[in-house]
Amino acid sequence: MIFARALLGQELIVFGAIGLALGLIYAYLRGRRQLDLLRRVWPPTLLWAVFGPLDALVTIVGTWGDPWREANPALRAWLIWDGWVGQVISTFLYVLFWAAVVIGLEEGRRRSGGAWEYLLGAAQILTLYTLAIEHLAGFLSWTPYLQPIMPLIGWLDGRAPWLFADSPLALFLNFALIVGAFLTAAQLASAALVRGMRMRAPVARPAPGPVVPPGRIDAR
């Protein structure tokens, strides 16, 4: 369950904290005249903006009175510290932190060129897609929608634990990162295809007007 009537006030405050963080990020980009960043990374940003709040809201309900049910050790520490208030603070700082990472990559991308410019741009998209997929998985973990594929997840967990959070490698190579890499490759390939089609498209030229011989212009 995403919403609980008894916890609606707390959920609205968490949602408001996310909105405040996003508003501060937008104001910063607008002040720096870097809103073009959003035009490049809007697909993964939109997914993050949807799945992130869903994950946060369902976490309040799922961990209420029992913070040890939270699998994320960092968020669990905040919940143990001060319950949902800790989650509000953690969520606010979390959004700002990852936004700072993406904006930092943007600063490096603008100052570089060639292959580095492309790679840093790809890193921005990969970061946002990975975060979105992690939140989608986090949201589904609190719902019954994940139950039909739990046998598959258990099978993969036993044979490839590095896909999940069972090994140190999970920090660098996990399921969300792999899916994010595929989505990043698909977005970059689509963008390259669109650019190629635009470059090959014929340029429309205005039709030539009638030629008037010299000395035949009528004065009216």
In a domain, 201, yes or no: no
Residue 213 confidence (pLDDT): 61
Residue 159 confidence (pLDDT): 73
Query: Is pLDDT of 192 > 70?
Result: yes
In a domain, 31, yes or no: yes
In a domain, 89, yes or no: yes
User: What whole-number percentage of the chain has pLDDT above 90?
Assistant: 43
When the pLDDT of each residue in the chain is averaged and rounded to a whole number, the result is 83
Residue 207 confidence (pLDDT): 60
Report the predicted TM-score, pTM, of the whole model to 2 decimal places. 0.79
In a domain, 156, yes or no: no
Residues 119-142: b if buried by 16+ CB within 10 A, e if exposed: ebbbbbbbbbbbbbbbbbbbbbbb
In a domain, 206, yes or no: no
In a domain, 132, yes or no: yes
At residue 200 the predicted structure's pLDDT band, cuts being 50, 70 and 90, is confident
Containing structural domain, residue 60: 5-145
In a domain, 55, yes or no: yes
In a domain, 186, yes or no: no
Tokens read off for 55: 């994950």
What DSSP state is assigned to residue 125? Answer: H
At residue 112 the predicted structure's pLDDT band, cuts being 50, 70 and 90, is confident
How many independent structural domains does the chain possess? Answer: 1
Query: Is pLDDT of 171 > 60?
Result: no
Is residue 46 classed as helix, strand or coil in its secondary structure? helix
Residue 154, sorted as left (phi over 0), alpha (psi -120 to 50) or beta, turns out to be alpha
Section 76-82 average pLDDT: 90
**Residue closest to 127 by CA, chosen among 103, 91, 161:** 103
What residues contact residue 82 under an 8 Å CB cut-off, 6+ apart? 89
